Amino acid sequence: MSIPTLEELLALRGAAHDLTLKGRRLARASLLGAHSSPQRGRGLEFQEVRPYVAGDDPRTIDWRVTARRGRPHTKLFQEERERPVWLLVDLQPGLFFGSRRQLKSAVAVRAAALLAWTAALGGDRIGGVIGTGTDQRRILPARARLAGVLPLIEALLAAQPIAPAQPAPGTLEAILRASASLIRPGSLVLALSDFAAVSAQQESLWAGLAAHSDIRLYWLTDPLEAQGLPDGRFRAGLPHRLSLLDGARVRARWLAAWGEREARLMRLAQRCSAPVARLDTSDSVESVLRPMLLRGPSAA
């Protein structure tokens, strides 16, 4: 299996030179549940509160001031020069898995690095929350250019799982909770995970984030997950906890579970108006992301 290296991730800067995160018309052929999310503009910084007037966005109503003063008040924001781009990267131990050219964790690291370089070259600030377990997170404040990308790359490399271990399905929810106080209105949020444990509670956290930020979901997958085991008998599981599986006998249940996971993710994407890009271990990350991010007439 191919493991990302520092030299490889630094070299992705060159691949990002003609890419952009600003386009809203992502390559739909490469997306699942390609829902266009409303453009919320660049990062916004709170300026003041004033009485609400007809035509103001109801989403900016300050309910605390409204209740205190007895009449509607709205928050005013001023545009920040640089938009915050936040990478939420799920690197829990269950992503140490791959049946093709690379592990799912390697896909996450490579994709996050390419997206970070694209953001930095586009003039945005880059921040990150990296989770390696339910109670293990690394938070990197949003910073501009190299000051944002280089610490993120170093953190990604350090956070990669290095051996099979018990999955920590609560990692993504923990990442979301840690992000709640960090991500400001107008941010772009890029989430990389296999979304194996999307719950109703997690959906509520996503919806709250989507109310004031743009979200894009990058779904890490492996062909074996989607296709099931071939015919034959196989040992599967963690070291010292292996089970004997018959491919033909378990295939129906296997595919049903996969279908349920995909349906949960599509419901989440619909609720958050978030496009979903599938990144598979059998494909080069750059070959999948480039058509979505390439500068062109649709990038605005």
Tell me: the pLDDT tens digits for 224-260?
Answer: 888 877 777 877 766 667 777 776 787 888 788 889 9
In the chain, % of residues over pLDDT 90: 58
The mean of the pLDDT values for the chain is 85
* Class (C level, CATH) for 6-41+80-293: alpha beta
In the chain, % of residues over pLDDT 70: 86
CB within 8 A of 207, min separation 6: which ones? 271, 272
Cα maximum dimension of the chain = 71
Q: What is the pLDDT of residue 72?
A: 92
pLDDT of 41 over the 60 cut:
no
The ranges assigned to domains in the chain are: 6-41+80-293, 44-79
SS (H, E, C) the chain: CCCCCHHHHHHHHHHCCCECCCCCCCCHHHEECCCCCCCCCCCEEEEEEEECCCCCCHHHECHHHHHHHCCCEEEEEEECCCCEEEEEEECCHHHCCCCCCCCHHHHHHHHHHHHHHHHHHCCCEEEEEEEEECCEEEEEEEEECHHHHHHHHHHHHHHCCCCCCCCCCCHHHHHHHHHCCCCCCCCEEEEEECCCCCCHHHHHHHHHHHCCCEEEEEEEECHHHHHCCCCCEEEEEECCEEEEEEHHHHHHHHHHHHHHHHHHHHHHHHHHCCCEEEEECCCCHHHHHHHHHECCCCCC
Q: What is the pLDDT of residue 233?
A: 80
Tell me: the pLDDT tens digits for 279-295?
Answer: 999 999 999 999 999 87
If you count them, how many residues does the chain have? 300
Tokens of residue 155, six digits: 């953190």
pTM: 0.79
Tell me: the pLDDT tens digits for 64-122?
Answer: 999 999 999 988 765 555 689 999 999 999 999 888 889 999 999 999 999 999 999 99
